[in-house]
Structure 1
Amino acid sequence: MTNSPGYQTLLVFLLSLNFGIVFFDRQALNALMPFVQPDLQLSGTQIGLLASGLSFSWAIAAFFVGKLSDTIGKRKLLLIIATIAFSVCSFISGLATSFVFLFAARLLMGAAEGGVMPISHAMVASEVNPARRGLAQGVAQNLGSNLLGSFAAPVVLVAFATAFSWREAFYLAAVPGLVSAALIWLMLREPVPAPALTAAEKDDKLSILDALKVRNMWICVVVGVLMVAHFVITWAFMPIFLVQERGLDESSMSWVVGSLGIAAALYSFLVSGLSDRIGRKPVMVVLPFLSIVGPLGVLFLDPGAFDGFGVAPFSWLAIAGYGVVLIPIIFVGWAVNGIFPIFMATIPSETFSARHHATVLGLAMGSCEVLGGVFGPTLAGALNDAFGRDTFLWLLMVLAVISGFVSMGLKETAPAALARRGLEPAAA
């Protein structure tokens, strides 16, 4: 490892910041949906399709851009181009006058954003000390994305949309990406190319089917499909559910869902760091089961119940009491967000050799998005239209429980956990 600790820290910080801005733009529509839906007269199915469309083009980009970065080796350049492109797409979203216009804008944004994380994780895997890989990849993927995308996006953009309009909020969301692209250009260097491959290594090509024959890979893909669906469904429907079904005003809603971002930012350190110590498998099994407390809290806790404490139902005091009780419940359940970089990046990168990292990371992230992110919210929207707006909460719990059981089949890859057993890390 030739990079200094200072540069490794800078690398992870800037990649985390950049991915945070990616999610700031991605989450903007979810946070602004209580404003957008009445204006554009969107149905539940159309809300789901907007989330699905972005996930679909995101997935396609993750597959191909990850492979492209392995092929040409220009990871920094590709990252900068993608960052500028998704910022432009955020501005275009603010111009939308119909469902079709907005759907097209979200497709373009997904195509621009999809390659960011495979490239970022490949840079971390090659530039950061392997002993801190889990923590570094957890911070790169989860810290910025949750502080900016899951916390700042709903709070800042809802306040901006209330003061101006949802269109101006999208224009605002376009600015940070341009700043991030400039910082990456000025402060990071192109990763040093891997040593020239031997003849045997050149023949060692990895196809998608070959990768999926490895147990850890297909388990990561299955869990990823389920948990990405869980994530996208939560963000697509929770904000509008809290406003239209639980009676929260948009500002109160933004703080409740923003608590998800604070929780996940903390878990980006705690869960990833814990997995470095105790192993990847234990956290992958336990946290999906724990996550069901969040949907249960939203499902059975009603602001109207607080009128028994001497306050009018749905008054600001009742809403405040509701938030005080609900936020800790959500906070505990959202610990599951900490496993996302583990199944998307850490386990695949510890299972395969370094020359295949961007390829397998693109496979992990792309398949999660194209199956979970595309079909999950569309299914949830259709179920909501057919059976009621709270149906998505039951679907979240089903997805989480299945994920926990599937994760039981993982083979441990954490170096520290293997060392305690007297085993050496091995890459397929």
Structure 2
Amino acid sequence: MAPTTSNARYENVLLGVLFLTFGFVFFDRLALSFLFPFMAEELQLGNRHLGMLSSVLALAWAVSGALVGLWSDRNGVRKPLLIAAVILFSLCSALSGLVGGFLSLLLFRGVMGLAEGPILPLSQSLMVEASSPHRRGLNMGLLQGSAAGLLGAVIGPPVLIGLAEAFGWRHAFVISLLPGLLIAWLIWRYVRPDDRARKPDASTAGNGVGLGGRLALLKSRNILLCTLISCVFLTWFIVLISFTPTFLVSQRGYSPASMGGIMSCLGVAWVFWGFAVAAISDRIGRRPTLVLFSLVAACCPLALLYAPTPFSLGALMLLTYTGLGCFTLFMATIPAETVPRGVIATALGLIMGIGELVGGFIAPTIAGFAADRYGLSIVMWMSCGGALLAALLSLFLKETAPTVLARKAGRPLADTANLQGHP
């Protein structure tokens, strides 16, 4: 059955609101990296402090994403949690501008990670329910991939650096509170109220998935594989994004201006591939898309190692920085199409949480020690290896794309979507 005009309108409105929400999460998450040069001398911070600040946020993100996602599914509550999380992380980001030293900054970044962690599983579980089957992958890709790239990697750097130069780094943090409060109001105004707390979900009735059985989700082949892919692909991403600026300046000998231009190419590629990969997966399937673009992503660190000029390297970044589009598939779309509706947030929080723990918390530390011993080039090989492992693991996924399943089964698309238990 074709979606009604009302449902289609809400689908687009929800996508817009959640696009801004998750994009602003990455705006705040990456703000410290862009403002660190302005604050390091005043607060007497070094590279080890930057590493610790990034790690504590990733650890808090991992824990809260998994636990709050589980609690949300058990109680059928998402909208109030989403509003509270946006307000809390916005406050903590603003308070980062009032710190007097490393310990207070570490505290605020940790609390900010606790607030930001649940936003992705809550947002994607809302999005998958509102999405038409034929554009589910595209919606989720825009929400997770393109939003983070546009607001975090394209708009974020010039805005934050401009504010820091005009008003000081402290004011740049404090001003970030205002868009957060606006986004919280948009969620309150335009996101439909939760109804699962009042009405049990038929898709999960009698499925026996209780608190003690949540980790049993890992018995599902797709969920286990997506969790493993999350670990290795987050290693690709975090290691690459953390060490590339330093690698380009100290190892390749590029000027700061050339380095900035190359990083801008990463941001543009992040936005484009964030939705393009997901849209392609709606047509040809999740599994082949993930295998193909994981292999392309593995070429990105190799380009950083061997591209002869800054211009050619920038062009190769636009072509090979495809991993953030893949993230939507293994971290949201495939799990949402695999598990019953009532445990979507739990599954997404579990995959994201374990991936953040391994790829966001452990891998950068190992990469840093390895770089000190063997040189910065080793981190690029680690990043490449993460994407190659993701491609290998993706070969064993079960296909979930509604269009592909409908084509194979000879059924109308709506019938296949209903068989999966999605609206």
Is TM (by shorter chain) over 0.5? yes
Identity of aligned residues (%): 38
What does residue 64 of structure 2 align with? 61
For the residues of structure 1 that align with 2:345 and 2:190, how far apart are their CA atoms? 22
> Per-residue displacement from partner, 1:242-263 (whole Å, max 9, x unpaired)?
4455555656544432322221
> Per-residue displacement from partner, 1:51-101 (whole Å, max 9, x unpaired)?
221111011111122122223333111111110111111122233444433
Work out whether 1:402 is the aligned partner of 2:406. Answer: no
Work out whether 1:328 is the aligned partner of 2:315. Answer: yes
For the residues of structure 1 that align with 2:107 and 2:353, how far apart are their CA atoms? 19
Q: Secondary structure at the match of 1:4?
A: helix
Structure 2 unaligned regions, length at least 5: 411-415
For 1:369-408, what aligned pairs fall within 5 Å after superposition? 369-408=356-395
For the residues of structure 2 that align with 1:177 and 1:413, how far apart are their CA atoms? 35
What does residue 209 of structure 1 align with? 215
What does residue 288 of structure 1 align with? 294
- The structural deviation recorded for 1:362 is 1.3
Greater shift, 29-38 or 344-353, is seen at 29-38
> Per-residue displacement from partner, 1:383-410 (whole Å, max 9, x unpaired)?
2233333432221111111111111111
Work out whether 1:152 is the aligned partner of 2:155. Answer: yes
For the residues of structure 2 that align with 1:250 and 1:91, how far apart are their CA atoms? 28
Work out whether 1:73 is the aligned partner of 2:76. Answer: yes
Q: Is the alpha carbon distance of 1:253 and 1:41 closer, same or farther for their aligned partners in structure 2, counting shifts above 3 Å?
A: farther
What does residue 367 of structure 1 align with? 354
For the residues of structure 1 that align with 2:274 and 2:130, how far apart are their CA atoms? 19
CA contact (8 A) 2:245 2:263 kept: yes
CA contact (8 A) 2:64 2:115 kept: yes
> Per-residue displacement from partner, 1:305-337 (whole Å, max 9, x unpaired)?
xxxxxxxxxxxxxxxxx2x32221111111121
Q: Which amino acid aligns with 2:273?
A: Y
Q: Secondary structure at the match of 1:292?
A: helix
CA contact (8 A) 2:59 2:113 kept: yes
For the residues of structure 2 that align with 1:354 and 1:41, how far apart are their CA atoms? 49
Q: Is the alpha carbon distance of 1:158 and 1:238 closer, same or farther for their aligned partners in structure 2, counting shifts above 3 Å?
A: farther
Q: Which amino acid aligns with 1:286?
A: L
For the residues of structure 2 that align with 1:279 and 1:408, how far apart are their CA atoms? 12
CA contact (8 A) 2:277 2:293 kept: no
Q: Secondary structure at the match of 1:411?
A: coil
What does residue 200 of structure 2 align with? 196
Structure 1 unaligned regions, length at least 5: 304-321
Work out whether 1:358 is the aligned partner of 2:362. Answer: no
> Per-residue displacement from partner, 1:89-117 (whole Å, max 9, x unpaired)?
11222334444333222211110100111
Work out whether 1:414 is the aligned partner of 2:401. Answer: yes
CA contact (8 A) 1:229 1:376 kept: yes
Aligned residues: 409
What does residue 113 of structure 1 align with? 116
Q: Is the alpha carbon distance of 1:240 and 1:178 closer, same or farther for their aligned partners in structure 2, counting shifts above 3 Å?
A: farther
- The structural deviation recorded for 1:36 is 4.4
Q: Is the alpha carbon distance of 1:200 and 1:367 closer, same or farther for their aligned partners in structure 2, counting shifts above 3 Å?
A: closer
CA contact (8 A) 1:44 1:382 kept: no
For the residues of structure 2 that align with 1:200 and 1:43, how far apart are their CA atoms? 50
- The structural deviation recorded for 1:28 is 0.9
Greater shift, 167-176 or 359-368, is seen at 167-176
Q: Is the alpha carbon distance of 1:420 and 1:342 closer, same or farther for their aligned partners in structure 2, counting shifts above 3 Å?
A: same
CA contact (8 A) 1:30 1:239 kept: no
CA contact (8 A) 1:260 1:334 kept: yes
Work out whether 1:50 is the aligned partner of 2:40. Answer: no
Cα-Cα RMSD:
2.5
Q: Is the alpha carbon distance of 1:198 and 1:340 closer, same or farther for their aligned partners in structure 2, counting shifts above 3 Å?
A: closer
CA contact (8 A) 2:22 2:144 kept: yes
What does residue 413 of structure 2 align with? none
Q: Is the alpha carbon distance of 1:45 and 1:400 closer, same or farther for their aligned partners in structure 2, counting shifts above 3 Å?
A: farther
Q: Is the alpha carbon distance of 1:160 and 1:296 closer, same or farther for their aligned partners in structure 2, counting shifts above 3 Å?
A: farther
For the residues of structure 1 that align with 2:205 and 2:67, how far apart are their CA atoms? 22
Q: Which amino acid aligns with 1:212?
A: L
What does residue 339 of structure 1 align with? 326
For the residues of structure 2 that align with 1:347 and 1:202, how far apart are their CA atoms? 23
For the residues of structure 2 that align with 1:215 and 1:335, how far apart are their CA atoms? 24
